[in-house]
Chains A and B, each alone.
Chain A
Amino acid sequence: MGDWAQLAQSVILGLIFSYLLAKLISIVVTFKEDNLSLTRHHDPEPELNLKPEVDSRGRIESSTGEADSVIAEQGSSRGDSVGGDSEEEVEEEEDDDDWEGVESTELDEAFSAATLFVTTAASDRLSQKVPSDVQQQLYGLYKIATEGPCTAPQPSALKITARAKWQAWQKLGAMPPEEAMEKYIEIVTQLYPTWLDGGVKAGSGSKDEAVSNTGGTMGPVFSSLVYEEESQNELKIDAIHEFAREGEVENLLKSIESGIQVNARDSEGRTPLHWAIDRGHLEIAKLLVDKKADVNAKDNEGQTPLHYAVVCDREAIAEFLVKQKANTASKDDDGNSPLDLCESDWPWLRDSAKQTD
């Protein structure tokens, strides 16, 4: 009897010892694995559009059961951002069927933001605060969402963590990726209800939007001219010139009615008619001529409104001025007439020049 008890005791002790040994080995192994898998599974990305975009909010709110109108709004604003090119829109609408199941939805984007949140700020906290079964659940949902059903072989029983993760993935079976994404976002939102608050604000900087729109990391840059205010320009200009320049009909009329000279000069000797023509306002030009503006007024460089119309290649205005008896042969201080400066083929300009000869 005593022998039997002793035997049983030593067997049990042996079992416990070998279990502990196995556990120790598995801890060592999985510790290494975990470190590897952390970098593997949460593969950081070189993409620059990493901030949750404004779009993400729509989806998050929908997943927490809020207004659908936000989504609609987002949808339309997305459309706008691409919508500059109406041809492209039409073209794309035609083959929208092709995008079935391929197109990235708002859900994709919220999911991206959520995974990003988990992998960045929350990764170390998760391990402290979040029960391991929830962590595994997140892992499983992540794998379903990104890779689909589990096809990987079952890890050895010694790799406890790896096996738990595998099981978390495996047990979700053939769950659709969309559902996995929604659940993932739900869990993250439960754990950190405010995780996206303010993130939207932070993500709406114009630079980031641009990056997300261009979607680019590498590659060329589209640059355009930086506007530089002309510093040495000491132009003095009256309100009436500004109204003519900006095409403000009513203000212009009021000025003239209040007794301002229709041929008032700015410090460069330009009349309101010069300014209207420079900016291409045919209606304003007609109105000014109607109000007895001088069609042959010269600025300080000897240029008439017709010079301006010709230099700025404004055909309708030039033709109008010629009809109003503007002088096509009037020389500016460089000795050039409007005809000399004309690079376009405007037969009526030549004809009228011949007539005046």
Chain B
Amino acid sequence: MGDENSNPGSLEEKADQVTEVTPFAGDDASLESIVRRFQDSMSVEKTHKFWETQPVGQFKDIGDTSLPEGPIEAATPLSEVKQEPYNLPAAYEWTTCDMKSDEVCSEVYNLLKNNYVEDDENMFRFNYSKEFLSWALRPPGYYQSWHIGVRAKVSKKLVAFISGVPARIRVRDDVVKMAEINFLCVHKKLRSKRLAPVMIKEVTRRVHLENIWQAAYTAGVVLPTPVSTCQYWHRTLNPKKLIDVGFSRLGARMTMSRTIKLYKLPDVPVTPGFRKMEPCDVPAVTRLLRNYLSQFVVATDFDENDVEHWLLPREDVVDSYLVESPETHDVTDFCSFYTLPSTILGNPNYSTLKAAYSYYNVATKTTFLQLMNDALIVAKQKGFDVFNALDVMHNESFLKELKFGPGDGQLHYYLYNYRLRSAVKPSELGLVLL
């Protein structure tokens, strides 16, 4: 390995090396060049090799406006869909997880609790509650066959999971039936077994069997090719705890006392008529939401059944509030957030970080700022430590003013087998995946 390779982190450098290597390929397939190509390709090319074989927007097509928008591959006849599950390594077997069963739900919960997404420094790990999983995986018209587990044959232990749920997602003028793919998790001890690819293929197969050919998913990394790239923002509600657990930092020149004052919120919401959403509000909220979401390029398409499932308040899962005009009794504004705690790893004082995640919000009469400030107030009342939001929809208009700070996490949105001519701005996206 020559000196040239002293900076393996730089992308430019990598690109240079690849072009440098090629001229020598013919005469001398030197070990160095092979090894170097290997190392280079590990990081960029190889990661995407799988996706280059998939019907997803390809990097090489970026900027090519001649390609039509819409499905990349046409639907194939159902009889041509592979009927048998993909093969797993010999020690494992497929299982379909019945999320109605408390026992199975607990197994999935425990797998995720111990093995799901962590932050870069491994200080926090998502801890989706059982109630949350049961809610997230059983929306109207869900398919149990899309709740896919992998068990060890001998012990029957659940070692991996992936899921899809049906959703209608509108892309410009077309409402497309899609699967939202989520909760891909492989046990820590099996990370090198390469289970994830076959799990993705299996869930795709089972989605196809229901005659659905598109999917939406998110990832923290860049794959071919993001439909949109969003940024997480965080509003501190409990500064002392967030600093103690390392979620945020106290600058040396800043006092805790002043930080606490900075994030202080009123005790109760300020908007007259601000109250919890109730079942009788479903039609009004649906109208409000459909109207609001119609302005985004890519957005979820909610009907009343969806609103009833996704937005009616559920204890420790999802909270929804609205503003009912004291005079006309019209529902004029709506806000919601879901509850996603994380396990705090290795802190002697705290074990759980309680985070609220902004979901869907619509303001028509109240200012967006005041509406969201009231959302912060109720979140604080309910004991949340932090309120998180993506810069999707119109969220950008309140983030800075309400003292949200930028996060270190980017979230990329993807569509499977659906091409968009170009990526959309976060503010053109009306979709939140859990």
Q: Is A6 an interface residue (CB 8 A)?
A: no
Interface status of A3 (Cβ within 8 A of chain B): no
A347 at the interface (CB under 8 A from B): no
The residues of B that contact A43 with a CB separation of less than 8 Å are 50, 197
1/0 per residue, CB under 8 A from B, across A180-194: the answer is: 000000000000111
Which residues of the partner chain B approach A242 to less than 8 Å between Cβ atoms? Answer: 252
Query: Which residues of B from 181 to 228 have beta carbons under 8 Å from A?
Result: 181-186, 188-194, 196-197, 200, 217-221, 223
The 0/1 profile, CB within 8 Å of B marked 1, for residues 294-313 of chain A is 00000000010001100111
CB-nearest residue of chain B to A220: B117
A8 vs B410: C-alpha distance in the bound complex, in angstroms?
A: 78
Across the interface, do A104 and B193 meet the contact criterion of CB distance under 8 Å? yes
- Write the nearest CB–CB distance from B174 to chain A, whole angstroms: 24
Task: Find out whether the CB atom of A203 lies under 8 angstroms from the CB atom of B42.
Answer: yes
A51 interfacial contact with B, CB 8 Å:
yes
- B16 contact set on A, CB distance < 8 A: none
Q: Does A210 contact B (CB under 8 A)?
A: yes
A218 to B200, CA, bound (A): 10
Residues of A within 8 A of B219 (CB): 216-219, 221
Among the listed stretches A13-21, A162-170, A224-232, which one makes contact with chain B, having 4 or more residues with CB under 8 Å of it? Answer: A224-232
A180-B200 Cα distance, complex, nearest whole Å:
27
CB atoms of A49 and B346 under 8 A apart: no
Q: Are A51 and B257 in contact (CB under 8 A)?
A: no
Q: How many residues of B contact A (CB 8 A)?
A: 101
Q: Is the CB of A220 within 8 A of B407?
A: no
Q: Which residue of B lies closest to A201 (CB)?
A: B8
Could you count the A-B residue pairs with CB atoms below 8 Å apart for me: how many are there? 285
Binds B, one of A77-85, A256-264, A322-330: A77-85
Instruction: Name which residue of chain B comes closest to A210, CB basis.
Output: B120
Within 8 Å of chain B (Cβ to Cβ): is A211? yes
- Known contacts A128-B29, A225-B407; decide if A48 and B254 are in contact (CB<8 Å): no
Which of A97, A102, A217, A230 is close to B190, meaning CB atoms less than 8 Å apart?
Answer: A102
Chain A residues in 8 Å Cβ range of B181: 218
Instruction: Please tell me which one of the listed residues A102, A148, A312 contacts residue B260 in the complex, with CB atoms under 8 A apart.
Output: A312
Specify which of B152, B220, B242, B388 lies most central, judged by the most chain A CB atoms within 10 Å of its CB. Answer: B220
Please give me the residue from chain B that is nearest to A109 by CB atom.
B192
Q: How far is the CB of A277 from chain B (nearest CB, A)?
A: 8
Q: How far is the CA of A311 from the CA of B262 in the complex (A)?
A: 12
Interface string of B108-124 (1 = CB under 8 A from A): 00000011111111111
Task: Please measure, in the bound complex, the distance between the C-alpha atom of A69 and the C-alpha atom of B35, giving whole angstroms.
Answer: 26
Please determine whether A46 and B124 come into contact, CB atoms closer than 8 angstroms. Answer: no
User: Closest approach, in angstroms, between the C-beta of A53 and any C-beta of chain B?
Assistant: 8
User: Nearest Cβ distance between residue B267 and chain A, in whole angstroms?
Assistant: 10
Q: Contacts A39-B53, A120-B42, A308-B255 given; indicate if A218 touches B194 (C-beta within 8 A).
A: no
* A131 part of interface (Cβ distance < 8 Å): no
Q: Please, which residue of chain B has its CB at the minimum distance from the CB of A105?
A: B192
Would you list which residues of chain A between 262 and 321 have a CB under 8 Å from chain B? 270, 274-275, 278-280, 303, 307-308, 311-313
Taking beta carbons and an 8 Å cutoff, which residues of A are in contact with B? 39, 43-52, 81-86, 88, 92, 95, 97-104, 108-109, 112, 116-117, 120-122, 125, 128-129, 146-148, 192-195, 197-199, 201-203, 205-208, 210-230, 233, 235, 237, 242, 245, 270, 274-275, 278-280, 303, 307-308, 311-313
What would 13 A/B residue contacts be, using CB atoms closer than 8 Å? A46-B54, A49-B192, A50-B42, A88-B114, A95-B157, A103-B189, A108-B192, A122-B34, A215-B115, A221-B232, A223-B410, A242-B252, A311-B256
**Interface of B toward A, CB cutoff 8 Å:** 1, 5, 8-9, 29, 31-32, 34-35, 37-39, 41-43, 45-47, 49-54, 87, 89-92, 114-126, 152, 154-155, 157, 159, 181-186, 188-194, 196-197, 200, 217-221, 223, 232, 234, 236, 240, 242, 246-249, 251-257, 260-261, 342-343, 345-346, 388, 405-411, 433-434
